[in-house]
Structures are given as C-alpha cells and as structure tokens.
Amino acid sequence: MIKKIILSILLLLFISIVFILLIPINVSTLLSKPNPAKNYEEALNKIAAFKTFEPKNILKECSIQFLTHNKKVEFATVLVHGYTNCPEQFKKLGEKFYNLGHNVLIAPLPYHGISDKMTSAHSEITAEKYTQYGDTVLDIAEGIGNKTIIVGLSCGGVIASWAAQFRHINKAVIISPAFGFPQIPTSLTPLICKIFSWLPNKWINKGSELFYVYPRYSTYALTQMIRLGISVRYSAQNVKPKADSIVFITNANDKIINNSLVSSMIKMWKDSSTNIKTYEFEKTLELKHDFIDPNLPNQKLDLVYPILIDLITKE
C-alpha cells in the first residue's frame, strides 16, 4: 500500500514537472515602455539620473560615456557592450562615430563595471532589467539625435534585437547576438533556459585578460539573456519588427554563440520585413567572439572597424 502511494506521488510529481516544462517561457513582462526625451536638455537630465544609479564602486572606464557635440544632431548612436564587459569595450569605436558627427552614448549594463571583478552582483540581472536598460538608453537617444541607431555585441546584440522588434528606431545593428550557445541544441534552448532559471545560480570561470571584464559567468544571468532573446522570437512570429532597418553581423569563426539561432532569427524577420541586411566575417579571418574591444590582444581593428562603420552608417 505504501509503495503504491509513493509511486503515485512520484508519478504525479513527474507529470507536474512535464506540464510545467511544456508551458511557454513567460515573456509578457518584456515589452517596451518608452518615455523618450523631448529635447536635448531632457536627455541630459536622463543621463544624469542614469549615473546616480550606477554602483558606487564602478570603474571610471565603465561609467556611462556620452560623446556629445553639445546639441541635438542628426544621428544618435547607442553602443551596447557584452555581458561581463563594460563601455570601455566600445569607446574607441564610439569615438569614430563621434568624429563623423554623431552623438554617442555608451552605458553600462546593470551590475557591470564594478571594481571587484569577483562580484556576484551580476547574478541579479533579469530580462526585465535588460528591457528597462534598453528603454532608458533609447529614450535618451531620442533627445540627442533626430535618428536613432543602436549597435550591440553579444548580450548587447540581444538587446539590440529586442529594440528592433519593440521600438520605433531608425536602425538596429545586431552583432553576434547571444540567443544561445553551441553546447545546447538549438531546439532545446528554451527548455534548458527554463530549467537553469529554476536551479541555483552557478559560476562558470572563463578568465579575463582585461581589468574591467568579469572573469566568470553567472548561469542565472545567461538564462535571462536567452529569455530576452526568446521574447523577441515569440513576438516576431506574429508582429513585424518596428525598426526601420536591421543589420545582422555575424562571425563564422565564433565559438561562443549559436549561429544557427541567429540564422533562424534572420529568416523569421526576412519573412516579414524586407529591410534586413546581413554580413558575415569569414572564418579564415579567425576573429574572436569579441572582435571590437581594442584592448584585447591580436585584434584586427584595421580590418573590422571600417566594415562596421560602413554597415552602420550607410542607408
């Protein structure tokens, strides 16, 4: 009798787990809530407000960077760095856009740039905080430029894809977005994301060659990044992206992200929108996943930067 009761309980538990796993990931809280700056002065106030919420022990290289011509100009370019990195990653490229006449904003992701590289703060990141960040930087951009361009790498690429789907912007440039990882089969990515979001956070050591880059990943933060990408995919199944144009830039040598997921996202958007362009750096170039940060050794910036600038600026 007791054995039957135990088996019944285990069966009920198994059925409950299977049922929960089959429920789609909740992305209803990941919609955009725009509150754009009405003018340049209001944008400056939003930048000041953003800075007050930065960690007190943030590195100066990782604080919000605003390269401005001291007035609203034609183009506002927002550059979004990758997970564990900070605005320093994009500073040199940002200066090139500034020299082209753009106002440039490079803001740190939540819990990034803290001087203690072993901080556990970034394990508190949620997809909702990513969307709040995305709304904030794009709200600022509307006050500093007549046209808004958002450019993101890796996690920043996921945020740029979210912006492309949910915000009325002029251009989204999505570079090697981390929708998933090659260690996880494409079809199982949402399921694994859900499972890991339930499990206790674990740390994955990856090392770091730069003093402002965290040397480890939080599994919880990674699942939240993937969850944000899933929200874009779910929405794109029924709704066209709101960005006027989208550029996908991939790296055939990338061993960090799942390029198959990127390809499927490109196809989905191409089926509903005609203004999508793609560019892939060839595998023979042997570029790193992060081929933008100028402080990493053996970068090929003389090759990469002109191509990026051309793809980002041309109509």
> Is residue 167 domain-resident?
yes
Helix (H) and strand (E) counts in the chain: 9, 9
pLDDT at position 11 over 50? no
47 CB-near residues (< 8 Å, 6+ apart): 64, 66, 105, 140
> CATH code at 174?
3.40.50.1820
> Is residue 30 domain-resident?
no
* Cβ atoms within 10 Å of 156's Cβ, excluding its own: 30
The DSSP secondary-structure symbol of 32 reads -
Q: Give pLDDT, residue 220.
A: 96
| Number of domain units in the chain | 1
Please give the residue range of the domain that contains residue 276.
35-313
Q: Give pLDDT, residue 15.
A: 42
Name the helix (H) or strand (E) containing 138: helix 127-144
Which of 87, 79, 82 minimizes the C-alpha distance to 103?
A: 79
> Is residue 99 domain-resident?
yes
pLDDT at position 22 over 50? no
Which of 118, 94, 119, 117 minimizes the C-alpha distance to 107?
A: 94
pTM greater than 0.75: yes
> Is residue 307 domain-resident?
yes
What's the rounded Cα separation, in Å, for the pair 295 and 273? 37
> Is residue 259 domain-resident?
yes
For the stretch 202-242, pLDDT in tens is 999 999 999 999 999 999 999 999 999 999 999 998 899 99
| pLDDT band at 26; cut points 50, 70, 90 | low
> Is residue 231 domain-resident?
yes
pLDDT at position 132 over 50? yes
User: Beta strand 216-218 with 103-106: parallel, antiparallel or unpaired?
Assistant: unpaired
> Is residue 134 domain-resident?
yes
Q: Give pLDDT, residue 269.
A: 92
Find residue 33's DSSP bridge partners.
none
| pLDDT band at 307; cut points 50, 70, 90 | very high
> Is residue 202 domain-resident?
yes
Q: Give pLDDT, residue 3.
A: 54
What's the rounded Cα separation, in Å, for the pair 21 and 190? 10
Q: Give pLDDT, residue 136.
A: 98
